[in-house]
Amino acid sequence: MITDTPVAAGRARRGQTLPLSEVFGPTFQGEGPFTGYRARFVRLGGCNLSCGAGAAPMVCDTEYTWNSAKFDLAVECPETRTTAILEHAGRISAPITVLTGGEPMTHQRKPAFTELLTGLRDLGQVHVETNGTIPPAADAHDLVDHFTVSPKLTNTGDPAGKRLKPRALAAFAAEAPGKAVFKFVVATPDELTEVDRLVDEYSIPHPAVWIMPEGRTAARVLACHRSLADAILTRGYNTTTRLHMLLWPEEDRGR
């Protein structure tokens, strides 16, 4: 049961910095097992992958958090004190904070990251969205309530050795389905066989697998989802839509 918490500023006060893209909410978590829950989002800059770089359309929908060839990251993701991030987050009333990116786990060894998680815990549950390439260190593991792990498939363009890190995937799989779930973005039924291989290889429990349709428009999300639904059911996986694409199709930030 997730309960709302009083708006508060958090207890971290020392003011280390992290590259911050945006803090927004309240909105709805649009993807995965917590779809529809009210949430605040904290989006950090930086990523260790480059999904779809150079492709059209671009696979990554938050390219402004990491692609220095196209964006001025000092402007898009300025170094921001954790106190300021927590103050902003604390003004948003929601039971869940979704910490996302970019790839937020690239910062997990920084004292600022621990400060941020510690402060966000004062506001309610902390959920981290990750590409699953970096196993959680002890602090991150203990301070995060839930990980949504989204391993990237061949369709994202990065080589397998870069996007699939066995030690990290095994670490997250060991936490599934209690503390971690796996969310795969799939465009065609054929791509589900690639998911099947990963699920088998890393012994990911089927109840921890969520298939999400690819798509940047409501029409594309719905059409893709319909094409996948039966095959998802047959395999015993779960599924999720992309709620924010259906509700706010014209708004690609702050939703």
Provide the strand spans (E) within the chain.
17-28, 38-44, 79-81, 96-100, 125-130, 146-149, 180-186, 209-213, 238-239
Residue 82 in the binding site for ligand SF4 (CB under 6 A): no
CB contact burial 184-212 (16+ within 10 A = b; e otherwise): bbbbeeebbeebeebbeebebeeebbbbb
Helices of type H across 79-158: 82-90, 111-121, 138-143
Residue 164 in the binding site for ligand SF4 (CB under 6 A): no
Neighbouring residues of 38: CB distance < 8 A, sequence distance ≥ 6: 4, 25, 26, 27, 28, 29, 94, 95, 96
**At closest approach, how far in Å is the CB of 14 from ligand SF4?**
28
Q: Per the annotation, does 151 bind a ligand?
A: yes
Q: Closer to ligand SF4 at the Cβ: 49 or 199?
A: 49
Phi, psi (5° rounding) for residue 19? Answer: -75, 120
Residue 125 in the binding site for ligand SF4 (CB under 6 A): no
Q: Closer to ligand SF4 at the Cβ: 51 or 228?
A: 51
Residue 101 in the binding site for ligand SF4 (CB under 6 A): yes
Neighbouring residues of 120: CB distance < 8 A, sequence distance ≥ 6: 10, 42, 86, 89, 97, 99, 126
Residue from 131, 148, 238, 240 binding ligand SF4 (CB under 6 A): 131
Interface residues for ligand SF4 in 32-61 (CB under 6 A)?
Answer: 47, 49-51, 60
**At closest approach, how far in Å is the CB of 235 from ligand SF4?**
24
**At closest approach, how far in Å is the CB of 197 from ligand SF4?**
20
Q: Count of CB atoms within 10 A of residue 72's CB? A: 9
Residue from 103, 115, 191, 214 binding ligand SF4 (CB under 6 A): 103
Assigned token pair, 146: 């839930």
Residue 128 in the binding site for ligand SF4 (CB under 6 A): no
Q: Closer to ligand SF4 at the Cβ: 12 or 211?
A: 211
Interface residues for ligand SF4 in 183-212 (CB under 6 A)?
Answer: none
Interface size with ligand SF4, residues (CB under 6 A): 11
Please state the residue numbers annotated as binding site for [4Fe-4S] cluster.
Answer: 47, 51, 60
Q: Which residues bind ligand SF4 (CB under 6 A)?
A: 47, 49-51, 60, 62, 101-103, 131, 152
